[in-house]
Chains A and B, each alone.
Chain A
Amino acid sequence: MPELTNIEAVTRTLQQEMARNPNIFITGEDVGRRGGVFRATKGLIEEFGDKRVVDSPLSELSIVAVGLGAALYGLRPVVEIQFADFIAPAFNQLVQEAARFRYRTNGDWTCPLLIRTPYGGGIGGGLYHSQSIEATYAHVPGLYVVAPSTPYDIVGMLRYALRVNDPVLFLEHKKTYRLIKGEVPDDDYMIPFVKADVKRVGSDVTVVAYGLMLHETLTAAQELLHEDINVEVIDPRTLHPLDQDTILSSVKKTGKALIVHEDNLTLGLGAEIAALIASEAFEFLDAPVMRVAGPDVPAMPYARTMQDYFMPNAEKIAAAIRKLNAY
Chain B
Amino acid sequence: MRLAFSLTPQSTSPLREAIAFAGLTIALTWLFWLPGAFLPGALGDMLLGIGSFAPLAVAIFLDVWLQKNTLKPATWTKTISVRGVAVAFVTPFFVLMPILLLRFNQGTLDVGKFLGDARAMWFSLLVLGVLAFAEEIGWRAYLLPRLQTRPLYMTNLVVGALWFVWQLPLVFAGRFNESENFRAFFIAMFLYALLITPFLNRVARRADFNPILSAVLRAGLQFAVAIYFLQGRADPLTDTFGSATIIWLVILNVILFSQLWQGKKPPAEITELERVMPLQVGD
Contacts and interface: CB of A to CB of B under 8 A. Distances in A.
Does chain A bind chain B? yes
Interface of A: 21, 23, 102-103, 107, 110, 112, 141-142, 144, 160, 163-166, 192-194, 241, 248-249, 252-253, 255, 283-284
Contacts of B14: 252-253, 284
Contact of B149 (A21, A102, A164, A249): A249
B279 interface: yes
Given A110-B280, A164-B279, A194-B279, A241 B273 contact: yes
B277 A283 contact: no
Contacts of A284: 14
B268 interface: no
Interface in B241-283: 272-274, 276-283
B88 to A, nearest CB: 24
A165 B281 contact: yes
Nearest to B272: A141
Given A165-B282, A253-B149, 8 more contacts: A21-B283, A141-B276, A141-B277, A164-B281, A164-B282, A192-B279, A252-B148, A284-B14
A327 B130 CA distance: 41
Given A249-B149, A253-B14, A283-B70, A164 B276 contact: no
Nearest to B10: A286
B282 A112 contact: yes
Contacts of A192: 279
A141 B273 contact: yes
A83 B178 CA distance: 78
Contacts of A253: 13-14, 149
A185 B68 CA distance: 47
Contacts of B276: 102-103, 141-142
Nearest to A160: B281
B145 interface: yes
Contacts of B68: 283
A252 B149 contact: yes
Contacts of A21: 283
Nearest to A103: B276
Contacts of B278: 107
Nearest to A21: B283
A160 B273 CA distance: 20
A252 B149 CA distance: 7
Contacts of B279: 164, 166, 192-194
A166 B280 contact: yes
A163 B283 contact: yes
26 contacts: A21-B283, A102-B277, A107-B278, A110-B280, A112-B282, A141-B273, A141-B276, A141-B277, A144-B277, A163-B282, A164-B280, A165-B281, A166-B280, A192-B279, A194-B279, A241-B273, A241-B274, A241-B277, A248-B149, A249-B149, A252-B14, A252-B148, A253-B13, A253-B14, A253-B149, A283-B145
A202 B229 CA distance: 53
A163 B272 CA distance: 23
B192 to A, nearest CB: 31
Contacts of B149: 248-249, 252-253
Contact of A165 (B145, B274, B280): B280
A248 B148 CA distance: 11
A293 B38 CA distance: 65
A284 B278 CA distance: 30
A255 B148 CA distance: 14
Contacts of A103: 276
Interface string B159-172: 00000000000000
Which of B68, B69, B277 gathers most chain A CB within 10 Å?
B277
Contacts of B70: 283
Contacts of B282: 112, 163-165
Contacts of B272: 141
A163 B281 contact: yes
A283 B14 CA distance: 11
Contacts of A193: 279
A22 to B, nearest CB: 10
Nearest to A161: B281
A141 B278 CA distance: 11
A273 to B, nearest CB: 15
A255 B146 CA distance: 12
B277 A166 contact: yes
A194 B279 CA distance: 9
Interface string B71-92: 0000000000000000000000
Contacts of B277: 102, 141-142, 144, 166, 241
Nearest to A244: B271
Which of A112, A160, A283 gathers most chain B CB within 10 Å?
A283
Contacts of B280: 110, 164-166
Contacts of A194: 279
Nearest to A281: B149
